[in-house]
Amino acid sequence: MDYVVLLKQVPDLAEELEIDAAGTGLDREWMSFVASEWDEYALEEALLLRDARGGTVTCLALGVAAGDVDELLATCLTRGADRVVKVGTFEHAPDSHTAAAAFAGALAHIHYDLVLTGVQAIDDLDGQVGPLVATNLGLPHVSVVTHIAVAGHGSIVTVHQEYAGGVVGEFEVQLPAVLGVQTSRETPRYAPVSRVRQLMKTATIEAMVGGEGGGSGLVVEAMTIPETGSTAEMINGSPQVIAERIAAILAERGIGSGVAR
């Protein structure tokens, strides 16, 4: 079975995010980038499926200048991907619709049975890439997937879609299809820095032209940082002092005065 994983980098939330001068985007000066967490789960699932049943794993990422796509793809290779491809050229990460069009264009030239990508990303203003790519290619798609099993002959996968309250829907999906992965069954395997560095020097990262089109159709009027901590009344002091105050607050509402199970 041939698996394709779509990945991207997103801004690292360890950095404090700042709004740019125009007030409609993020200030990029101090931005650093990390792989999108859900895309890593998607890759891990693809690798586990391939390790179990054989096949190939190809990783696609957009050729975005900001950030370090080469490192992202080298990390994929280190983790065990068979082939990595950089799709298109972009100065900054494009919106999801543009990304989906680019990926769909590249996928027309790659053989695949199953496309996996993270169910979402933190910067998906205009929706998630998985269903967008699938619809562009006319493929069935399932999001929020927590379990993937390939049925015997490899033309159907059984997946679990997660809903609220721990309820899960089980589906049989005909391949080829696109899955938006919520979590992988194992923690994504570690990619040792030495190997990533080495692969960045020696590995072949193919480049492909992406599909055209897309565009989010959205105009950002304003971007703001919501005020945090403004509603909460903060309690200061030692743990004992804090405990006192909380006990008092609870007592006011009739909680905790000698009520035990």
Partner 1 sequence: MSGDVFVIAEHRDGAIIDTTYELLGRAKALAGASGGEAVAVLLGSAVAGLAGSLGAAARVIVVDGPGLASFSPSAYQAALVPLVRERQPALVLVANSGSGMDVAAGLSAALDLPLAAYAIDLTVDANGPLVTCQLYAGKILAKVRFTGGRGIVTVVAGSFPADAGAAGGSPPVETVVPAATDDRIRFVDLLRPEAGDVDITRETVLVSVGRGIGEQENLELVEALAAVLGGAVSSSRPIADAGWLPRTRQVGKSGLKVKPKVYLALGISGAPEHLEGMRNAELIIAINSDARAPIFSVAHFGAVADLLDVVPALTARLGG
Partner 2 sequence: MLGRDVTREIFEGISFEGEILFYGLSALATIVFFVGIGVRLRKYVRGRRQDVIGSPLGFLRRAARSSVDTALNQTVAKRDPYAGVFHAAIMWGFIVLFIGTAILTIESDIVRPFLPQFSFYWGAFYVVYSLVLDVLGLAMIVGIVAMAIRRARRPRQLDYGRVDIGPATTDRGGFRTGDWILLGWLGLLGVSGFILEGARILANDFPWFEVFSPVGWVVAGLFRALGLTAASAEAIRYTLWWSHAIVALALVGYFPFSKAIHAIVDPVNLALRSPLAGRRLPVLAVAGAAPADGHIGIRDLSDLTWKQLVDVDACTKCGRCHVACPAVASGAPLSPRDLILDLRQEADAAWSILAPLGEHRSDRAYGGGTNGTGPADGSNGGSRLAGGLISADTLWSCTMCLACVEACPVGIEHVPTIVGMRRSLVDQGIVTPSLQTAFTSLAKQGNSFGQSGRARAKWTDDLPTPIVDARKQDVDWLWFVGDFASFDVRVQESTRLVARVFQAAGMDFGILYEGERNAGNDVRRAGEEGLFELLAEHNVGQLSKVRFRRIVTTDPHTLNTLKYEYPDFGGDYEVWHYSQVLASLLASGDLMKQRSIDRRVTYHDPCYLARYSKVTAAPREVLAAIGAELVEMPRNGANTFCCGAGGGRIWMDDSGLAERPSEQRIREAAELTGVTDFVTACPKDLTMYTAAVKATGHEDRLLVSDLIELVAMAVDLPLEVPAVNEPVPAGEIAAAEVLPG
Q: Which residues bind partner 2 (CB under 8 A)?
A: 12, 14-16, 30, 32, 34, 79, 187, 189-198, 201, 234, 236-239
Tell me if residue 44 falls in helix, strand or coil: helix
Pick from 163, 190, 194, 202: which binds partner 1 (CB under 8 A)?
163
Binding mask of the shown chain, residues 37 to 56, with x at each position contacting partner 1 by CB under 8 A: --------------------
Q: Which is nearer to partner 2, 224 or 240 (CB)?
A: 240
Pick from 20, 51, 170, 186: which binds partner 1 (CB under 8 A)?
170
Phi/psi class of residue 54: alpha, beta or left (left: φ > 0; alpha: ψ in -120 to 50)? left
Pick from 29, 194, 204, 232: which binds partner 1 (CB under 8 A)?
232
Pick from 7, 77, 93, 134: which binds partner 1 (CB under 8 A)?
134
- How far is it, in rounded angstroms, from Cα 182 to Cα 207? 28
CA pseudo-torsion sign 142, 145, 151, 154:
positive
Q: Is 240 in the site for partner 1 (CB under 8 A)?
A: yes
- How far is it, in rounded angstroms, from Cα 161 to Cα 148? 10
Q: Is 14 in the site for partner 1 (CB under 8 A)?
A: no
Nearest CA to 96 out of 11, 225, 219, 217 is that of 217
